[in-house]
Structure 1
Amino acid sequence: MAISTYKIFLMKKGANDAWEKLIDIKDFPDLGGSPEMLETTTLSDKMQTYVPGIQSMDALEFTSNYTKDDYTTLKALEGTPADYAVWFGATEAANVLTPTGSDGKFEFGGSLSVFPIGGGVNEVVGMTITIAPSTPITMATA
């Protein structure tokens, strides 16, 4: 069964290795990439052949609504390696969402940067959170 993007969270590992919601996000990037294709074609082959190489990975960009407090909090994290995750799934009680990752937890290490993004007439001010991954993205088993 398919799931909705509702109840997806950007998480950061905090004190005592406890995961905490970092910020409410408006979108999230691909959590993986295609491997590079290494050509193995010989002069005897009728068409090109390949084997998979190293998986390609770009910077992970998330967008969020801008507030001075959120921006200041994220700016303080810049340049400091940390553990991050994207969690799918939450419980809801009394109109409060609690991230659970019940539909998947995708974890990775990296360094964060943040900047306000441009806007136009009658738009909400946003910001981009970029995480340069320093480890492969893995799906947590627990």
Structure 2
Amino acid sequence: MDFAGLLSKGTVLAYKDGATSKPVAAVKSIPALGSDPEKVDVTHLGSEKKAYIKGIQDVDNMEFAIIYQGDNFRDIHALVEAGNAVDWTITFPDGLKAEFTGEPYYKFDGVEVNQAVGFNLGVVVSSGPDITPATAPVEG
């Protein structure tokens, strides 16, 4: 059964911490997933018009806006200090998943009077994202 849309509430960003999956607390936004493939020019001397084929995708770094809560920053800081690629999963409320691997970094937002302090978790993607659609509900 189709539905009108999907609310973002309940979407979770998590990373593998050994054998367990650990959610990142207080995520405010998730970037666009995927990328445009590069165009490869295959025009030859007999071509009437320029011709192209789909080339390799170049995935941009992913940046997630996060509200600073102390513990959540310490967790990310430890990942960055380790200097290793990490397995990440974004799970949407209906079960749609995006999985990717990459090395994390962070940067703090500017701050103003009467504003929540935040930081951006960035990931230099080395593999993925691989999208897995949510399974269809069983109709009965």
Could you tell me which runs of 5 or more consecutive residues in structure 2 were left unpaired when the two chains were aligned: 136-140
Corresponding letter in the other structure for 1:70: N
Aligned-partner SS, 2:127: coil
Alignment match of 2:72 (pick from 53, 65, 70): 70
Distance apart, 1:4 and its partner CA: 1.7
Is 51-60 or 132-141 further displaced after alignment? 132-141
The whole-number CA distance in structure 1 between the counterparts of 2:78 and 2:117 is 20
Picking from 114, 124, 128, the partner of 1:132 is 124
Q: Report the AA paired with residue 15 of structure 1.
A: G
Aligned position for 2:89: 85
CA distance in structure 2 between the partners assigned to 1:107 and 1:74 by the alignment:
18
SS for the counterpart of 2:71 is helix
Residue by residue over 1:33-66, the C-alpha shift from the partner in whole angstroms, topping out at 9 and shown as x without a partner, is 0100001223433332210000121111000111
CA separation in 2, counterparts of 1:69 and 1:11? 15
- Secondary structure of 1:23 counterpart: coil
Runs of 4+ in structure 1 over 4 Å off: none
State how many pairs are aligned.
129
TM-score normalised by L of structure 2: 0.82
1:9 aligns with 2:12: yes
Instruction: Give 1:1-142 correspondences, 5 Å limit.
Output: 1=3, 2-16=5-19, 18-78=20-80, 79-89=83-93, 102-140=94-132
Unpaired segments of 5 or more residues in structure 1?
90-101
TM-score by length of 1: 0.81
Measured after TM superposition, the shift of residue 21 of structure 1 is 1.1
Q: How large is the RMSD of aligned CA atoms in angstroms?
A: 1.9
Kindly provide the amino acid, as one letter, of the partner of residue 75 in structure 1: H
Q: Decide whether the 8 Å contact of 2:26 with 2:68 is kept in 1.
A: no
2:70 maps to a residue whose letter is K
| 2:41–2:50 contact (8 Å) kept in structure 1 | yes
Q: Is the 8 A contact 2:26 2:69 kept in 1?
A: no
**Counterpart AA for 1:87:** T
